[in-house]
């Protein structure tokens, strides 16, 4: 059976930022700093006046968080928790804050986002050199080791009631790190700029002319182009899509966003979903959850959160669907500019 493996190069991130009205390159008031951490390209677009010491401080903060939050770092807190038997683990303030957001979104979405899918990620090994579709019995056995319901968080202590439960915070750690950079920059007097973690982006202040930032969402049908723009003055955008990490077998695309109910990559009719929220870690986790849910269920969830006045899970979203349509929540319509020739404009 012939299989093709696709992995978009890191320069093609899920989100593009656009600073319109800049001067020519030689007089551009912004300077970009590029880093690679957390398995993604990170861009700090900051005023040229921001010194190297502050940029280096951001880099150090990102490294610190990666060492805490990554399940692939042998000395991380997550690795220690994953290796231990059933019991309790006292986490640092940073890690416990991320876990709290992960558990909240898992509970709110009934597991559409689940931070315990690490066994599924390992089984499928989507980004490996020769990924294949696992055997049905392997998937079923793996599902027995997944479930946020086996976690209990009390302050900074997380307890698991089953030995095999493992955490994978990849669905919200980048969002948290993005917000940590934004906060650090603000504390150091940076008044405007953009922090991009591939599929997660945060803005600082307004553009110098007082207008909002224009954030481009990649077109999942043609990732070199833009499907639409979101105009924002604060907050964070996170995108989850099926077009960056995947492989194909027998004409079927298997991506890295798993549905814990089936053990397979989510088959919800979604190509990508962009989430806008004030909380970066929650935006990151919600983009995964809303991808798994699909647009119809996602809109119901959105309206339920508004109706219940659940401010802890407050967001706006845009879905690009495999049938070529675009679905958008009411609260972001006036901030959205459609640009795709592959997806129809939202109704």
Give the pLDDT confidence score for residue 22 in this predicted structure.
Answer: 37
Closest of 242, 1, 267 to residue 133, by C-alpha: 1
Report the SS3 class of residue 133. coil
Distance of CA 224 to the CA centre of its chain: 19
Is 273 in contact with 327 (CB distance < 8 Å)?
no
Q: What are the backbone dihedrals phi and psi of residue 302, each rounded to the nearest 5 degrees, phi first?
A: -60, -45
Cα 204 to Cα 194: distance, rounded to the nearest angstrom: 6
Q: What's phi and psi for 23, nearest 5 deg?
A: -75, 180
Residue 88 and residue 157 in contact, taking contact as beta carbons nearer than 8 Å: yes
Cβ(197)–Cβ(258) under 8 Å? no
DSSP state of 139: H
Q: Would you state the pLDDT for residue 16? A: 57
The CATH T-level fold of domain 68-171 is T-fold (1.10.3980)
183-198 residues labelled b (16+ CB within 10 A) or e (exposed): ebbeeeebebbbbbbb
- Let me know how many helices (H) and strands (E) the chain has, helices first: 8, 18
Per-residue pLDDT of the chain (347 residues; tens, 9 = 90+): 333 333 333 333 456 554 433 333 445 689 999 999 998 999 999 999 999 999 999 999 999 999 999 999 999 999 999 999 999 999 999 999 999 999 999 999 999 999 999 999 999 999 888 899 999 999 999 999 999 999 999 999 999 999 999 999 988 999 999 999 999 999 999 999 999 998 899 999 988 888 999 999 999 999 999 999 999 999 999 999 999 889 998 889 999 999 999 999 999 999 999 999 999 999 999 999 999 999 999 999 999 999 999 999 999 999 999 999 999 999 999 999 999 999 999 98
Domain layout of the chain by residue ranges:
68-171
Residue 138's contacts (CB-CB under 8 Å, 6 or more residues apart) are 123
Using CA of residue 16, residue 185, residue 236, residue 97, what is the dihedral sign? Answer: positive
| DSSP structure string for 261-321 | TTSSB--SSEEEEEEEES-HHHHHHHHHHHHHH-HHHHHHHHHHHHHTT-GGG--EEEEEE
End-to-end CA distance of the chain: 42
- The predicted pLDDT at position 23 comes to 35
> Which of 18, 28, 63, 65 shows the shortest CA–CA distance to 48?
28
* Of 171, 170, 125, residue with least CA distance to 7: 125
Strands (E), the chain: 3-7, 15-18, 30-37, 40-47, 87-90, 151-154, 157-160, 193-197, 200-204, 213-219, 222-232, 236-241, 245-249, 252-255, 270-277, 316-321, 326-328, 336-338
336 forms bridges with which residues in the sheet? 230
| DSSP structural state of residue 258 | B
Supply the pTM of this predicted model: 0.91
Q: How many residues does the chain have?
A: 347
């Amino acid at each position: 059976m012939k299989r093709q493996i696709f992995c978009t190069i890191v320069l093609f991130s899920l989100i593009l930022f656009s600073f319109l009205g800049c001067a020519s390159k030689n007089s551009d008031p912004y300077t970009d700093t590029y880093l690679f951490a957390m398995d993604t390209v990170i861009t700090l677009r900051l005023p040229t006046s921001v010194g190297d010491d502050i940029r280096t401080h951001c880099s150090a903060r990102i490294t610190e968080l990666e060492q805490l939050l990554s399940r692939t770092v042998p000395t991380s807190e997550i690795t220690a928790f994953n290796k231990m038997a059933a019991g309790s683990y006292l986490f640092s303030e940073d890690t416990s804050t991320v876990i709290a957001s992960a558990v909240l979104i898992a509970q709110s979405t009934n597991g559409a986002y689940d931070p315990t899918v690490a066994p599924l990620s390992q089984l499928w090994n989507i980004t490996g050199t020769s990924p294949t579709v696992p055997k049905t019995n392997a998937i079923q056995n793996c599902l027995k080791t997944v479930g946020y319901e086996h976690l209990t968080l009390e302050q900074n202590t997380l307890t698991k009631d089953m030995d095999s439960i493992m955490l994978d915070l990849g669905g919200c750690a980048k969002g948290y790190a993005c917000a940590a950079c934004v906060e650090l920059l603000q504390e150091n007097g940076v008044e405007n700029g953009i922090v991009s973690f591939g599929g997660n982006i945060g803005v600082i202040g307004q553009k110098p002319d007082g207008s909002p930032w224009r954030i481009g969402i990649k077109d999942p049908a043609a990732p070199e182009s833009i499907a639409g723009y979101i105009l924002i003055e604060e907050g964070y955008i996170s995108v989850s899509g099926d077009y960056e990490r995947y492989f194909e077998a027998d004409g079927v695309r298997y991506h890295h966003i798993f549905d814990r109910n089936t053990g397979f990559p989510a088959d919800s009719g979604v190509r990508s979903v962009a989430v806008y929220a004030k909380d970066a870690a929650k935006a990151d986790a919600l983009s995964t959850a809303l991808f798994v849910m699909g647009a119809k269920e996602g809109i119901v969830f959105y309206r339920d959160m508004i109706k219940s006045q659940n401010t802890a899970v407050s967001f706006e979203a845009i879905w690009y669907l495999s049938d070529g349509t675009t679905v958008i929540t009411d609260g972001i319509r006036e901030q959205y500019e459609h640009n795709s020739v592959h997806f129809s404009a939202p109704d």
